[in-house]
Structure 1
Amino acid sequence: MGVFTFDDDFTSTVAPARLFRAFVLDADNLFPKIAPQAAKSAETVVGNGGPGTIKKITFPDGKYVKQRLDSIDHDNFSYGHSVIEGDVLSAELEKIAHVTKFVASPNGGTIIKVTTNFHTVGNAHVDEAKAKEGKEKAAGLFKLVEGYLQANPGAYN
């Protein structure tokens, strides 16, 4: 098995606590509402919301992923999850693990730090174009959540 790691930073004008509440704690409700093109539904398959919980996210085209919550730190606004099953995984990918941290920036906003580990089967390599596509989708979701929070200043306080 190989592991390929990518680190990405995104910025937001919204404070870390609000982003964390919206993007992590209420994603199941918020994403289908503000990004129906990205997520049709989310359902808990196993668990109660803590580490080990597995959720199935269904996309508008009927494809899906299952992701496991690996860690969550409410005090430091960070969490880790792994895509463990579904249409984004190929025969060469065992799982995709993400660790996301929402860090306060000097201007009152947030620096969103994401580490992504692609766990491959055997000596397989990561398709760089697909990795870039995933990064762009994540950036788009962060911007959608940011826009929603800016337009709704009372939400997730």
Structure 2
Amino acid sequence: MGWKRFEVEIVSTVSASRMFKAAIVDSHNLVPKLIPHIITGIKMIRDDTTGRLFKRTEFSNLIPFSYTLDRVDVMDEKNYVFNYWLIEGGRMGKMYDAGDFEVRITPTSNGGCVLKVDGAYHAYEDVVVTEDDMKVGKLGLSAMYSAVEAYLAANPEAYASA
């Protein structure tokens, strides 16, 4: 089947700096509190040998898999870019053999931002990936980032300090 791409985009009145801090840098603390019915926990794990950073996300029984493990390749707090590879869990080993994601948060002229996720799964040759298959990832990412955006809009002091 090859690579199957998707996008998620959220336009927000929240600044890019606050969105990146809350949705990316501190997601392991904030997100499980905002959507515990979807994400029950997130752990950031640093490999002592290589220094690499990994992110393990645990899901509720509403999601058709229990966890995902991502290898963090880029967490650029200056340019608001987060890039990671899905390496385990989810539909890895069943439908996909790779997953690549980039979150880019771009400031807007009105002080807000646009959060854009570019995602891609590499499906096994004999697997046909439908739009319904892609909805799980898109809906989950949309729910998570929309919950963070709503929290930040309702709490203007949250993640406002440098």
Question: What is the TM-score with the length of structure 1 in the denominator?
Answer: 0.87
Pair 1:122 & 2:125 matched:
yes
Distance 2:71 2:96 in 1: 16
How far 1:6 moved relative to its partner? 2.2
Contact 1:14–1:150 (CA<8 Å) still a contact in 2?
Answer: yes
Q: Percent same amino acid at aligned positions? A: 29
1:31 touches 1:38 (CA, 8 Å); kept in 2?
A: no
Residue in 2 that maps onto 1:53: 53
CA change 1:10–1:116 in 2 (3 A) is same
Distance (Å, rounded) in 1 between the aligned partners of 2:52 and 2:140: 25
Q: Which residue of 2 aligns with 1:10?
A: 10
6-15 or 73-82: bigger deviation: 6-15
Structure 2 portions without partners, runs of 5+: none
- The verdict on how the C-alpha distance between 1:30 and 1:115 changes in structure 2, with shifts beyond 3 A counting, is same
CA contact (8 A) 1:2 1:119 kept: yes
Give the aligned residue type for 2:17. Answer: A
Within-5 A mapping of 1:6-155: 6-47=6-47, 52-61=52-61, 63-89=66-92, 91-155=94-158
Structure 1 counterpart of 2:56, which letter?
K
The structural deviation recorded for 1:138 is 1.3
Equivalent residue letter for 1:127: T
Measured in 2, the distance between the counterparts of 1:63 and 1:35 equals: 15
- How far did 1:93 drift? 0.4
**Cα distance in 2, alignment partners of residues 5 and 40 from structure 1:** 26
Distance in 2, matches of 1:113 and 1:18, equals 15
Structure 1: any 5+ residue segments left out of the alignment? none
Change (3 A) 1:88 1:123: closer
Give RMSD over aligned pairs.
2.2
- C-alpha contact 1:2 1:123 (8 A) present in aligned 2: no
d(CA) in 2 for partners of 1:137, 1:89: 16
**Residue-pair matches, total:** 156
CA deviation vs aligned residue, 1:29-75 (integer Å, no higher than 9, x gap): 00111111121112234437x98312221112381111111212111
Q: 1:8 to 1:31 in 2, by over 3 A?
A: closer
Normalising by structure 2, what TM-score? Answer: 0.85
